[in-house]
Structure 1
């Protein structure tokens, strides 16, 4: 549906440009937008490669295992219906860790794998389980310690201090994550009462 909305907006914009005689402005916007897209993409690729490398070093050094052990009790509280030794737990912990470090692009494949593993525990494949809803809420809100993607974008646009948003991002994502957990618990408690 969103694709149709975007396509419609682009079509209306081009038709309006032809009617008003601003075709040159559309051409200029298309090429400038493409140039900006490529510039931002290369900037993001470099910072993501760097942080994924840092994550790989942290994994090899055992830091991710330690982080997973730290997050383990929280994950068991958040996902009480998932058996402790189930593969979904590892993907959930990896997803939470990647999100903490602002690696949303790296967290996505782990989140997808976690959902696939949670689906194996699902008695009704057409309905999401409470654990699936919790993972979706956490992944969407995802508390972030280091917003690497935003810092990379700010660096691309020559921000004087690209990392100055760390404090506000931490506060905002903490509030979002807390809200997501509270709402998730409220809905689950409502469901348990049925």
Structure 2
């Protein structure tokens, strides 16, 4: 991937030199870098807040109550995972973070859930069906309220940044259901 970026940057520099736009090219590089830092700090704030909330949820024991609410759904999807296993809490937190559009905050929770699921794996180094289901759910990332997207749109001055809520919900729910249907169909065909 580094080679691809190097080629793209090199071609851009050569093109800017031949078209006489080297000054505009240099200016846009610095503006892009400034914008990237601002967006990164903004997203870091969102991730920090969510990670703090998840820590409070864990320390207060509230996560177990929330996990209990999701238990019927999670138990149906993950039939081979014991109800009291730590992976249930990690998966629940991951799903909640994704529901609120905080995919960056969901990543460490997803890693923890996969580690906990791997602890149940009799064949280390292979992927179990439960791991596949979790990967599909995590990748599809059903979003009820995409806070990160709304925040980015608001920071760029969108008139109605919340207009993306329904389209994002429909798109992510559709993709998750389609991916799960394909996964379960493949499981039946290729036992």
Distance 2:122 2:51 in 1: 35
Q: Report the Cα offset of residue 34 of structure 1.
A: 0.9
The match for 2:120 is 121
The match for 1:136 is 135
Deviates further, 7-16 or 38-47: 38-47
Secondary structure at 2:190 match in 1: helix
The match for 1:93 is 92
Secondary structure at 1:186 match in 2: helix
Unaligned runs of 5+ in 1: none
TM-score by length of 2: 0.86
TM-score by length of 1: 0.85
Q: Report the Cα offset of residue 156 of structure 1.
A: 0.8
Alignment of 1:11-30 (within 5 A): 11-30=10-29
User: Does structure 1 conserve the Cα–Cα contact (< 8 Å) formed by 2:90 and 2:112?
Assistant: yes
The match for 1:41 is 40
Counterpart check, 1:7 vs 2:6: yes
The match for 2:163 is 164
User: Does structure 2 conserve the Cα–Cα contact (< 8 Å) formed by 1:67 and 1:97?
Assistant: no
User: Does structure 2 conserve the Cα–Cα contact (< 8 Å) formed by 1:68 and 1:97?
Assistant: no
Equivalent residue pairs, number: 191
Alignment of 1:71-82 (within 5 A): 71-82=70-81
Aligned-CA RMSD value: 2.3
Unaligned runs of 5+ in 2: none
Q: Deviations over 1:139-167 (max 9, x none)?
A: 01011111011011011101112112111
Residues 62 and 155 (structure 1), Cα distance of their counterparts in 2 relative to 1, 3 Å cut? farther
Q: Deviations over 1:43-88 (max 9, x none)?
A: 3334444555555666677654443222111111111122223222
